[in-house]
Amino acid sequence: MTVVSDKTAECERELLGRAAQFAEHSDWRELTVAALERVAERQGVDFATALLYDRLLRSAEHGPLMERLERLSKEDTRAPVLDATVVIAPGAFYVEFPHTGADGRLLREEAERFGCRSEVVPLASFGSLRENERILRDWLLSRPPGNVILVSLSKSGAEVKLALAHADAPEVFRHVVCWINLSGLVNGTPLVDWLFAHKLRTCWVRFLFWVRRYNFKAIHDLARGPGTLLACDLRLPQHMRAIHVVGFPLARHLTNALARRCYRRVRHLGPNDGAGILLGDVCRLPGHVYPVWGADHYLRPRGCDLRGLARGIFLYLHEELGERGADSSPQGPAASRVKVSV
């Protein structure tokens, strides 16, 4: 049982085969960040990455969705009409550097094929988490009735998490039937500690942010660990489901120099996506996890079909919304309770 592409190198297949035969940690729940760090110390980070991927694939909780999305992403049929609006919460620097995909343009184009309207929440390009959280909450509260598929990218995943932490989250997110969290920094990143560990390094980044008029405090917001802004648990309203899409790269997959540097800086903590997301953190989140083998933080390695991935998710949601007979005009948190199943 595998959803790894036929183009996967033989060395990767051998690695996944060894992971499948590994006697320890048969349950994915055992693979915490600390457990993965110990496995990486003995077997290497690549092996720890393959082990977590294998355990997710074989799990009853995540495996069926992984296989279903893989199958749907390869379907070349005419896109059906999806009764929802795709709402993009863009990632960091989406205004200045749209080529990174942080503006969600590709997702909006794919949504158009399904007859979906799409909108972009006007978040500050690199605002503080609290600032962008307020913008997101106000924007969602002002929406007219109708199913919403909320898609967050990277940093905005943290802003969605903070918005969900409020007591009125069921009301704020009343129209959101599913949250697609793409490489979301919902638990922060240890790269923040690395940055502030060296005074000269910190001063240089602070200067760059001052020159470009970015909010330097936003970096502090993204710290990971106890006592940080993002240390709170992620909670979902009863009516809303989540799919957390995250890259599972080996060292050989990181063709971008920046990704390689970021990967090396946190590899002592175990598997990561090349931009500071610890893969063990993602598996603790409520909802479904969809790991993309061989992909980095931007889900753009050689051969990665991001359009196919988006198509698979939209087809999946079309099936789910159709099966549940979702009301296209939910009036409150009790309405349109779409149970996303696998």
Higher pLDDT, 81 or 128: 128
What does the pLDDT read at residue 307? Answer: 85
1 domain-assigned: no
Is 50 exceeded by the pLDDT of residue 329? no
Distance of CA 122 to CAs 109, 112, 160, 217, Å?
18, 20, 14, 19
- 176 closest CA partner among 5, 11, 332: 332
Number of folded domains that form the chain: 1
User: Model confidence at 338, in pLDDT bands (50, 70, 90)?
Assistant: very low
340 domain-assigned: no
Please state the rounded mean pLDDT for residues 184-203: 92
How far apart are the C-alpha atoms of 327 and 324, rounded to whole Å? 9
Please state the rounded mean pLDDT for residues 282-302: 89
Please state the rounded mean pLDDT for residues 83-94: 94
Cα dihedral: 101, 105, 106, 110 (round 10):
160
Please state the rounded mean pLDDT for residues 16-45: 96
335 domain-assigned: no
What does the pLDDT read at residue 303? Answer: 52
330 domain-assigned: no
Kindly report the CATH number assigned to the domain that includes residue 90. 3.40.50.1820
Phi then psi dihedrals of residue 338, to 5 deg: -85, 115
181 domain-assigned: yes
What does the pLDDT read at residue 337? Answer: 32
User: Model confidence at 79, in pLDDT bands (50, 70, 90)?
Assistant: confident
Cα angle value 286/189/292 (rounded, 5°): 55
First to last CA, the chain: 16
What does the pLDDT read at residue 9? Answer: 83
The two tokens of residue 218 are 């936003």
Is 90 exceeded by the pLDDT of residue 221? yes
Q: Find the domain containing 213 and state its range.
A: 10-324
User: Model confidence at 302, in pLDDT bands (50, 70, 90)?
Assistant: low
140 domain-assigned: yes
169 domain-assigned: yes
The two tokens of residue 122 are 């006007």
41-61 pLDDT per residue, tens: 999 999 999 999 999 999 999
Higher pLDDT, 98 or 228: 228
What does the pLDDT read at residue 300? Answer: 76
Please state the rounded mean pLDDT for residues 23-33: 96
113 domain-assigned: yes
